[in-house]
Chains A and B, each alone.
Chain A
């Protein structure tokens, strides 16, 4: 599907007369998608999107466009979250290899700043956070290792 559409796009660019049928298909697909957005309720509420769109100077009375923006943002966040989840899983599996018996208890998947900043970096958002603060050398170590 992707390959064909790319070919179509290249075809349009090189030959100036466009493929009318393909464009009709795309047109129909887009309008159908926009119409389907009326039934789809994104997780990000319309009111929030409307508020921030109005704040940014965007003006359009069409509700479908608000939904479109909501879906786009939701998709973006979901992509970032999925990436962070992969990071988290990869990190946990790497740790488990070393000391399997110790890390068994906190196997919950938790969104941490470390994973998030890595995931956001892939999407072009640079998030710098304080790596670590410790007032004494033993403060960050877990109790078991401290006892030793």
Chain B
């Protein structure tokens, strides 16, 4: 009974040890150590051993590796002491004498003895003469494998001239312009999609391509979400279809003022529902637009009442800020317009919002400015 229990415990221990050893064997130097283990096992076999304890073999191979490292270190140290960077035989012999000083060797007592006749060397000569020559069991590749790096071809090698004068010709050539000027393939794909959906003319598609490339760059700078896009009122009127697409807005010009309008998504959705149901905004609701003095002034002097003005701020020629908030499949949108007709259209838009699928919505979004091209400034997503 006690036997059985004992054996069970033993087995459990063995399993645990096995697992543990497997887990811990993930060192970078595994290859070298295992080779050292084979070599040490061969040496021990030659010495007369018939079997090993695993731990003993591990320890001995570790000692062997450390011995090599120590010889290298002391050899290097003596070379540096003599003012050299490369070691020679005498550095190694001196290092070996240092390492062997614990065990002792013939002639160690004399401090001034010549290294040529060192006792350690004589012992090694004797050992080489006596010991039988056992080559390593396996043929080894050189390790660690060092990859030859191919440097990139320079402007000189390719024969081309650098695109600008300040770039010296010994620098590696630039990659193909397609890879960094514009994203052609994606452009074409997107243009194809737009053509399918919108059916726009070719010139417009070219413009889309151009602006889309710019936008791609800006997107890469901005990060992903939420991305702030700025629209221009006048240009939107001129370009119509191109500019109203939120994906196609040109970058902000130098000197243009950016009016940021920050709305948290929850309030956005509130506003959307309130707008669509033509309900009043609760008083506790504080919009970021309230702090926007010119907007409020315009509201006071404007064509519509304050209730609407909270949500719909006229932007007199100023660039409008678009906030895109990724929330699942559906994107929330608040339209801001300075004109009442625009509001009406927007409200209808939002009323129908629930029933629309994404494709239809995009088409309408693209086509809408042509409806309201008379007075609308812009559109806020």
Taking Cβ atoms with an 8 Å cutoff, the residues of A that contact B are 1-2, 5-6, 8-10, 12-13, 18, 22-23, 26-27, 29-30, 33-34, 36-37, 40-41, 43-45, 47-62, 64-65, 68-69, 71-82, 84-85, 88, 108-113, 115-117, 120, 122-125, 127, 129, 135-136, 138-139, 143, 146
Q: How far is the CB of B4 from chain A (nearest CB, A)?
A: 12
Contact present for A33 and B117 (CB under 8 Å) = no
Interface 9-residue window, one of B129-137, B176-184, B199-207, B279-287: B129-137
Is B141 among interface residues, defined by CB-CB distance under 8 A?
yes
Inter-chain contact A111/B125, CB cutoff 8 Å: no
Please state if B64 and A40 are interface contacts (CB–CB under 8 Å): no
Question: Which of the listed residues A55, A61, A73, A139 has the most CB atoms from chain B within 10 Å of its own CB?
Answer: A73
B106 close to A48 (CB less than 8 A): no
- Asked if B53 and A110 make an inter-chain contact with CB atoms under 8 angstroms apart, the answer reads yes
Whether A81 lies near B112 (C-beta < 8 A) is no
Give the 8 A-B residue pairs with the shortest CB-CB distance, closest first: A56-B72, A58-B72, A124-B102, A26-B116, A13-B112, A9-B113, A81-B47, A110-B51
- Taking a contact as CB atoms under 8 Å apart, the answer to whether B43 and A77 are in contact is yes
- Interchain CB contact under 8 A, A30 and B51: no
- Chain B nearest CB, measured from A42 CB (Å): 8
In contact, B6 and A138 (Cβ under 8 angstroms): yes
- Can you offer 12 A-B residue contacts whose CB atoms are under 8 A? A2-B106, A23-B116, A43-B43, A51-B143, A52-B65, A52-B69, A59-B86, A77-B44, A77-B63, A85-B48, A110-B49, A138-B2
B332 within 8 A of partner (CB): no
**How far apart sit A57 and B114, CA to CA, in the bound complex (Å)?**
26
- Closest A residue to B138 using CB positions: A45
Query: Complex formed: what's the CA distance from A49 to B133 in Å?
Result: 17
For chain B, which range describes its interface: under 10, 10 to 19, 20 to 34, or 35 or more residues? 35 or more
Which among B49, B59, B70, B123 is the interface contact of A113 at CB below 8 angstroms?
Answer: B59
Interchain CB contact under 8 A, B39 and A44? yes
Name the one of A57, A61, A123 contacting B103, with C-beta atoms under 8 angstroms: A123
Chain B positions within 8 Å of A60 at CB level: 86-88
Known: A69-B92, A72-B96. A57 touches B127 (CB 8 A): no
Contact residue among A22, A44, A122 (Cβ-Cβ distance under 8 Å from B117):
A22
Q: How far is the CA of A37 from the CA of B129 in the complex (A)?
A: 11
Contact of B9 among A64, A109, A135 (CB under 8 A): A135
| Docked CA distance A139–B7 (Å) | 9
Contact across chains for B112 and A72 when beta carbons are under 8 A apart:
no
Chain A hits for B85, CB < 8 A: 59
Partner of B63, one of A13, A22, A40, A80: A80
CA distance A13 to B111 in the complex (A): 8
Assess A40 versus B125: contact at CB under 8 Å? Given A47-B142, A69-B72, A73-B64. no
Q: In whole Å, how far is A54's beta carbon from the nearest beta carbon of chain B?
A: 8
Contact A48 B59 (CB under 8 A): no
* Residues in chain B near residue A41, CB distance under 8 A: 133, 135-136
Is B326 positioned at the interface, with any CB of A under 8 Å from its CB?
Answer: no
Residues on the B chain within 8 Å of A45, using CB: 35, 39, 136, 140
Chain A residue, CB-CB nearest to B68: A52
A36 touching B128 in the complex, CB below 8 Å, given contacts A72-B96, A109-B51, A124-B102: yes
A43 to chain B, nearest CB (A): 5
Question: Which residues of B have CB within 8 Å of A59?
Answer: 76, 85-87
- Provide the residues of chain A in CB contact with B50, threshold 8 Å: 108-110
Contact (Cβ within 8 A) B141 A116: no
Distance in angstroms from A74 CB to nearest chain B CB is 6
Complex Cα spacing A52 to B264, Å: 61
Complex Cα distance, B56 from A43, in Å, reads 19
Q: What is the chain B residue whose CB lies nearest that of A18?
A: B114
- Additional A-B contact list (14), CB under 8 Å, known A77-B67, A138-B2, A139-B9: A23-B117, A29-B116, A41-B135, A45-B140, A51-B144, A55-B69, A57-B76, A65-B88, A69-B75, A69-B92, A85-B48, A109-B49, A116-B59, A146-B2
A62 to B79: give the CA distance in the assembly, Å: 15
B26-38 contact mask (Cβ, 8 Å, vs A): 1 or 0: 0000001001100
Contact A2 B136 (CB under 8 A): no
Is B163 interfacial (CB 8 A cutoff)? no
Q: Are B110 and A5 in contact (CB under 8 A)?
A: no
Contacts A34-B89, A45-B140, A69-B68; is A78 near B43 (CB within 8 Å)?
Answer: yes
Contact between B125 and A33, CB atoms less than 8 A apart: yes
Selected contact of A68 from candidates B13, B86, B92, CB within 8 Å: B92
Q: Which residues of B contact A125 (CB under 8 A)?
A: 63
